[in-house]
């Protein structure tokens, strides 16, 4: 047989179950669930006690069996008939399987329904072991009771609150030992029954352990609060397999690993009731896949799609604050390296909103910025009729303003530009304003037309359409009859339906357009590899007091998903056992195929009859209900009720539907007039919507059912579209390896810490958790074809297996390891294979490590050599550049210093020439002045105006003295400049320069003292000369008028002596001045030269310090000599001045006396 292979029975603890002790595996007998309302209760099996101990027995932390279990093993031979797991225990037979399949399981009612259980077979065993058991009082909650004593079939039990009761044995169910409290896998429970599962889930739920395994299914209980089970630390733990507890991360990691290993697409199907946490679970799964497969950046865009889809597709209902009103399948594609390369989102038909409308309406009104509010003409939420019908405007713990900002940020991330965002929000605002459009009656036939008010004007402006076209679309309908077009006016109910249909169509097209934009952003393109993981998040099973068309579609989708679940976990596995001839007894489970036939059968199924009645113009909800009761009354899953109601027995229980509104909701009420209205808009987005609606309207209904009403009657119905999308979804899921996550809602109050047993039990029954565990625990979880088995373990054979067929290789492998055909366990071969492969890999790793290290060393050596050559060449180039720069700097410095030296030399030369010119001119003028003065004195000696000549001579002498003083001041200024320059040099050098500067300053002060003494002398001489000149002028005038012969000769002789003395004094002063200038020049040049030698600017073979000391001593010696001569000169000048003053006074007196005498005479 092609499908035949190797099967292995489950053995969780193979190390504790030696091969020699297991001689045979008994045939698996028929297991019958406890009858009545509890089809998931534990029934006895024919498995030996030793196998039960290894499969179901509990162990303590040190590996020692619990005392109860150890005692049971010791007494197995004596009391085997008393134990439900004894060797002689037989399953009850005679109950046909079809009878069990037809049983519907509502909530447990009374303990009397348990009379057919096999608990009575364990009475003596319970009495001896003093065990606990589960008891269900009248209120329906299971309680853990302790068995005190037994009397026949009666037992005395003690409840937790201390109450003691006498009950029948058949109303109790066995409880598991304490060591199994809170196990993370329900397969580990010794007694698999409903109260044990409920207690185990509650035990873990109370300790924030919300995830539990049920075989291949993960059960997730919604905590309704934040739990610390997520984050990077947990992601790394599950990635490295260091954490093994059940988790969504573990399911995602398993799917990712199987995709990479088997190169088969995977799917993660998340199901559960509304409010069970499916959306959050899907987001957590996406976060783990993004963390492990991230790196390209697109994983951030995938995560950012959640705020957009939740805002536009989720709403608050009575049972869930964030209920998904649409279904979505997120297909995440991976590259060859295991990184996320793109994604695609597929959505299904949206259902009507619940208690509160879609989140985006409230987020837009609360969080839109002022500019957007003004442009979209937004108002408060309470002012829109679509939003104020439920009187629910907020969600507890949710900030709509912050959520709107998150939506805006997410739209930017998925590359929806600002103009497109503005257009999308304009469509949302237009839908809100459409709800406020009102109508007024125009005639007696109740025909209406829209009222031109703020709402109508706002809709026309937001949609960018004309007011007239909008009025016609809302108040009239164009119907094509033959070749003619008839314009029909609408009544008030028809106009309201047309308005609502237009609003719903615009919003539905907007949602589809957003999904399309997201898919463009997440497009895989050329990076597609064909490997993907799909995450299905779809609305859960719903059952309210009043269930309408929306619940009808939702529950039908859940029936189809449950069938997919049953097919993979129940049907395919058991059918494969039977086809391969495995000794196997079927495990009964609740098959919902009859319910699916009720929906899908043609032509008398629910969907077919609904579409048929929707095509009749005169069809009503009442006629539809009557037709259902007429054609489906004999179906086991259908029951008719009064008026418009009917009941469907779903896998999750019975649901009563009210057919009110079924036909109108199933019909596509959007007529061609509305499509034409959208196509006439000037903005792009409504035109895109019109094109999409037109494409859908071209799909016709196949069949003869066609009446008048135009093209609208031939459009696809909502139920038909929904069924087609659902079938496409099932086809995609069938091509993947499924992984199931069942979300459980612990209470209807959405409050943490509350665990309602009845509600949880109903959901467990709906998802068939106990049947899954039974099949997984009792079956063969590991299966391989002969080809794969031989390919995987063939290398373990000692003989050559090249020419053997896969079946012979498989048998040879089993015989080589002495595994009997009845006890095939792949786990043993797997351990041997793992050890052998580990050794091979160890040798390979060592050899490859040696090769890698050798290659690394050679590579490092080559790199070092290459780096040395490169760095040497680089250093040589840098040194050459540095050398050129140094040479260039030297040349520049040479030229700059030469220029500065030449400039300084030119300035000194120019100053010396000027000084020489001044001195030489002064000397020439001095010599020529003295000769002219002597000649003038000799010529005028005999003349009577000797006194006048002397006065002019004195004036000339004074002028020269003043000129000499000016030259002296000029030289002093030059000396000041030289001193400043000398100070600049001195500031740039060391303490010696500072000392030399201080000595130079002392020298300058002494020079100034000498100069000031000379100046005072000159000033004194000038004052005396001025006095003599004035007296001489007076005497000369008087002498001319009253001159006498006697006195003239005496006066001239005195004047001649005075001129000669003045000439001698002037000669002495000039010599002193010349000597001062010469000495100053000499000392200044010597000091400057020594400074240059000290600074290195001049080359000389002498000691600057010693020469400077010698120069200082010369200066001090000359200063003393010059000061002494200056004092002598001053004394001589003072003497001459006193003589000059005395002689003219005497002569003047004589002259004046003579003059007066002559006058008197």
Q: Alpha helix locations (H) across 544-637?
A: 549-566, 572-579, 593-600, 606-615, 621-632
Give me the catalytic one of 105, 324, 713, 778.
Answer: 324
DSSP code string of 303-335:
HHHHHHHHHHHEE--SS-TTEESS-EEEEEEE-
CA pseudo-torsion sign 417, 423, 428, 432: positive
Which own/partner contact pairs does 909-917 have at CB distance under 8 Å and 24+ positions apart?
A: 911/974, 915/971, 915/1081
Rounded distance between C-alpha atoms, residue 1147 and residue 663, angstroms: 161
Q: Is 810 known to be catalytic? A: no
Rounded distance between C-alpha atoms, residue 980 and residue 988, angstroms: 13
Q: Is 279 known to be catalytic? A: yes
Helix (H, G, I), strand (E, B) or coil at 882: helix
Rounded distance between C-alpha atoms, residue 721 and residue 405, angstroms: 34
Residue 1056 to residues 986, 1059, 1126, Cα–Cα distance (Å): 55, 5, 26
Burial 694-722, CB ≥16 within 10 A → b, else e:
eebbeeebeeeeeeeeeebbbbbbbbbbb
Q: Is 540 known to be catalytic? A: yes
Q: Is 274 known to be catalytic? A: yes
Give the start-end residues of each E strand in 727-847. Answer: 737-744, 782-785
Question: Residues near 440 by Cβ (< 8 Å), separated by ≥ 6?
Answer: 448, 449, 450, 451
Rounded distance between C-alpha atoms, residue 122 and residue 140, angstroms: 24
Give me the catalytic one of 57, 367, 540, 768.
Answer: 540
Q: Is 320 known to be catalytic? A: yes
Give me the catalytic one of 279, 347, 614, 1036.
Answer: 279
Question: Residues near 439 by Cβ (< 8 Å), separated by ≥ 6?
Answer: 448, 449, 450, 451, 474, 475, 492, 495, 496
Give me the catalytic one of 275, 277, 327, 435.
Answer: 275
Residue 862 to residues 413, 836, 858, 868, 916, Cα–Cα distance (Å): 47, 39, 6, 10, 80
Q: H or E element: which one contains 256?
A: helix 248-262
Q: What angle do CA 982, 983, 988 make, to 5 degrees?
A: 100
Classify residue 571 by its DSSP letter: I
Rounded distance between C-alpha atoms, residue 497 and residue 520, angstroms: 34
Q: For residue 440, report the phi and psi dihedrals to the nearest 5 degrees.
A: -130, 140
Q: Is 323 known to be catalytic? A: yes
Residue 97 to residues 576, 587, 727, 775, Cα–Cα distance (Å): 19, 10, 30, 16
Give me the catalytic one of 42, 310, 403, 542.
Answer: 542
Q: H or E element: which one contains 787?
A: helix 786-793
Q: Among 212, 176, 179, 204, which residue's Cα sits nearest to residue 192?
A: 176
Give me the catalytic one of 122, 323, 406, 555.
Answer: 323
Q: Is 105 known to be catalytic? A: no
Q: Could you give the angle at which helices 606-615 and 718-734 cross, rounded to 10 degrees?
A: 150
Q: Is 674 known to be catalytic? A: no
Rounded distance between C-alpha atoms, residue 464 and residue 682, angstroms: 5
Give me the catalytic one of 320, 458, 521, 614.
Answer: 320
Rounded distance between C-alpha atoms, residue 221 and residue 198, angstroms: 11
Give me the catalytic one of 274, 317, 592, 736.
Answer: 274
Helix (H, G, I), strand (E, B) or coil at 29: coil
Query: For the chain, give me the number of helices (H) and strands (E)?
Result: 35, 23
Rounded distance between C-alpha atoms, residue 686 and residue 535, angstroms: 31
> How many other C-beta atoms lie within 10 A of the C-beta of residue 58?
19
> Residue 485 forms beta bridges with which residues?
480
Q: H or E element: which one contains 877?
A: helix 826-939
DSSP code string of 459-524:
HHHHHT--HHHHHHHHHEEEEEETTEEEEEE-BHHHHHHHHHHHHHHHHHHHHHHHHHHHHHHT--
Strands 164-168 and 154-158: antiparallel
Classify residue 352 by its DSSP letter: P
Q: Which residues are catalytic?
A: 274-275, 279, 320, 323-324, 540, 542
């Amino acid at each position: 047989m092609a499908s035949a292979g190797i099967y292995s029975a489950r053995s969780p603890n193979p190390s504790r179950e030696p091969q020699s002790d297991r001689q045979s595996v008994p045939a698996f007998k028929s297991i019958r669930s406890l009858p009545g309302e509890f089809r998931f209760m534990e029934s006895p099996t024919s498995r030996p006690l030793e196998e039960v101990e290894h499969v179901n027995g509990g162990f303590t932390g040190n590996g020692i069996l619990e005392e109860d279990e150890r005692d049971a093993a010791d007494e197995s031979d004596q009391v085997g008939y008393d134990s439900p797991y004894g060797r002689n225990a037989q399953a009850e037979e005679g109950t046909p399987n079809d009878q069990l399949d037809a049983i519907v399981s509502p909530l447990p009612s009374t303990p009397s329904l348990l009379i057919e259980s096999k608990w009575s077979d364990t009475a003596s065993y319970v009495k001896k072991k003093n065990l606990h058991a589960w008891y269900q009082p009248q209120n329906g909650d299971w309680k853990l009771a302790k068995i005190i004593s037994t009397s026949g079939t009666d037992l005395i039990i003690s409840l937790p609150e201390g109450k003691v009761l006498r009950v029948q044995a058949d109303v109790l169910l066995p409880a598991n030992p304490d060591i199994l409290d809170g196990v993370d896998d329900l397969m580990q429970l010794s007694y698999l029954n409903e109260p044990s599962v409920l207690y185990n889930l509650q035990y873990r739920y109370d300790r924030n352990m919300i995830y539990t395994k049920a075989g291949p299914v993960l059960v997730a209980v919604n905590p309704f609060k934040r739990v610390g089970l997520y984050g990077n630390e947990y992601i790394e733990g599950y990635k490295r397999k260091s954490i093994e507890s059940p988790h969504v991360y573990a399911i995602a990691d398993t799917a990712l690993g199987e995709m990479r290993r088997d190169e088969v697409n995977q799917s993660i199907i998340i199901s559960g009731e509304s409010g069970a946490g499916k959306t959050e679970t899907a987001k957590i799964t996406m976060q783990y896949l993004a963390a492990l497969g991230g790196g390209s950046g697109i994983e951030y865009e995938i995560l950012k799609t959640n705020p957009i889809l939740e805002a536009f597709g989720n709403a608050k209902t009575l049972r869930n604050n964030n209920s998904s009103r649409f279904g979505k399948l997120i297909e995440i594609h991976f590259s060859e390296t295991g990184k996320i390369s793109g994604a695609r989102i597929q959505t299904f038909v949206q259902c009507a909103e619940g208690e509160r409308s879609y989140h985006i309406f409230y987020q837009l009104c609360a969080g839109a910025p002022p500019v957007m509010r003004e442009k979209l003409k937004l108002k408060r939420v309470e002012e829109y009729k679509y939003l104020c019908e439920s009187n629910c405007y907020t969600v507890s713990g949710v900030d709509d303003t912050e959520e709107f900002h998150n939506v805006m940020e997410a739209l930017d991330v998925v590359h929806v530009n600002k103009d497109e965002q503005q257009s999308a929000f304009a469509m949302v605002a237009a839908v809100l304003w459409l709800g406020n459009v009102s109508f007024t009656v125009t005639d007696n036939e109740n025909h209406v037309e829209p009222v031109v008010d703020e709402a109508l004007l706002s809709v026309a402006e937001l949609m960018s359409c004309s007011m007239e076209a909008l009025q016609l679309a809302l108040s009239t309908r164009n119907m094509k009859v033959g070749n003619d077009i008839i314009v029909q006016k609408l009544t008030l109910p028809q106009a309201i339906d047309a308005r609502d249909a237009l609003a719903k169509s615009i919003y539905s097209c907007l949602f589809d357009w957003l999904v399309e934009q997201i898919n463009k952003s997440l497009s895989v393109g050329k990076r597609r590899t064909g490997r993907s993981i799909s995450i299905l998040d779809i609305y859960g099973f719903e059952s309210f007091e009043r269930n309408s068309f929306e619940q009808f579609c939702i529950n039908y989708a859940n029936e189809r998903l449950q069938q997919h679940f049953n097919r993979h976990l129940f049907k395919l596995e058991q059918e494969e056992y039977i086809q391969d001839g495995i000794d196997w007894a079927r495990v009964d489970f609740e098959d919902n195929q009859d319910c699916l036939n009720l929906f899908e059968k043609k032509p008398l199924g629910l969907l077919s009859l609904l579409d048929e009645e929707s095509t009749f113009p005169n069809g009503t909800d009442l006629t539809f209900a009557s037709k259902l009761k007429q054609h489906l009354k004999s179906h086991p899953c259908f029951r008719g009720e009064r008026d418009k109601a009917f009941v469907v027995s779903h896998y999750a229980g019975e649901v009563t539907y009210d057919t009110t509104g079924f036909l109108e909701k199933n019909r596509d009420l959007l007529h061609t007039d509305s499509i034409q209205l959208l196509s006439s808009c000037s903005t792009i987005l409504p035109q895109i919507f019109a094109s999409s609606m037109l494409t859908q309207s071209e799909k016709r209904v196949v069949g003869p059912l066609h009446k008048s009403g135009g093209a609208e009657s031939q459009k696809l119905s909502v139920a038909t579209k929904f069924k087609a999308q659902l079938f496409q979804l099932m086809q995609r899921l069938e091509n993947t390896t499924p992984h199931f996550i069942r979300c459980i809602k612990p209470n209807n109050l959405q409050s943490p810490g509350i665990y309602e047993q009845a509600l949880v039990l109903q959901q467990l029954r709906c998802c068939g958790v106990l049947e899954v565990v039974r099949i997984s625990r009792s079956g063969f979880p590991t299966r391989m074809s002969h080809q794969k088995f031989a390919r995987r373990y063939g290398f373990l054979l000692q003989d050559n297996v090249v020419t053997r067929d896969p079946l012979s290789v498989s048998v040879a492998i089993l015989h080589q390891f002495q595994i009997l055909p009845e006890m095939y366990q792949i786990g043993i071969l797997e351990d041997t294979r793992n050890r052998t492969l580990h050794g091979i890999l160890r040798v390979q790793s060592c050899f490859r490590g040696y090769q890698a290290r050798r290659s690394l060393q050679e590579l490092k050596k080559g790199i070092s050599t290459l780096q040395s050559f490169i760095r040497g060449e680089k250093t040589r180039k840098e040194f050459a550049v540095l050398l050129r720069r140094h040479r260039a700097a030297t040349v520049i410095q040479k030229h700059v210093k030469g220029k500065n030296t030449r400039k300084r030399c030119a300035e000194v030369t120019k100053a010396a020439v000027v000084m020489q010119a001044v001195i030489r001119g002064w000397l020439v003028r001095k010599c020529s002045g003295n000769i002219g003065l002597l000649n003038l004195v000799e010529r005028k000696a005999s003349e009577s105006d000797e006194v006048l000549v002397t006065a002019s001579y004195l004036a000339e002498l004074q002028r020269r003295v003043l000129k000499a003083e000016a030259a002296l001041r000029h030289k002093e200024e030059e000396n000041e400049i030289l001193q400043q320059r000398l100070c600049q040099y001195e500031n740039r050098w060391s303490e010696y320069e500072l000392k030399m500067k201080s000595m130079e300053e002392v020298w300058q002060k002494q020079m100034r003292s000498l100069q000031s003494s000379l100046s005072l002398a000159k000033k004194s001489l000038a004052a005396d000369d001025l006095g003599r000149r004035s007296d001489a002028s007076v005497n000369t005038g008087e002498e001319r008028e009253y001159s006498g012969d006697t006195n003239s000769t005496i006066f001239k002789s005195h004047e001649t002596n005075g001129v000669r003395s003045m000439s001698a004094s002037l000669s002495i002063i000039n010599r002193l001045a010349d000597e001062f200038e010469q000495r100053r020049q000499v000392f200044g040049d010597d000091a400057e030269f020594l400074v240059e030698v000290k600074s290195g600017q001049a080359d000389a073979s002498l000691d600057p310090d010693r020469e400077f000391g010698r120069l200082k001593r010369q200066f001090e010696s000359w200063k003393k000599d010059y000061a002494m001569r200056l004092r002598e000169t001053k004394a001589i000048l003072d003497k001459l001045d006193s003589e000059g003053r005395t002689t003219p006074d005497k002569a003047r007196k004589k002259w004046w006396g003579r003059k007066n005498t002559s006058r008197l005479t």
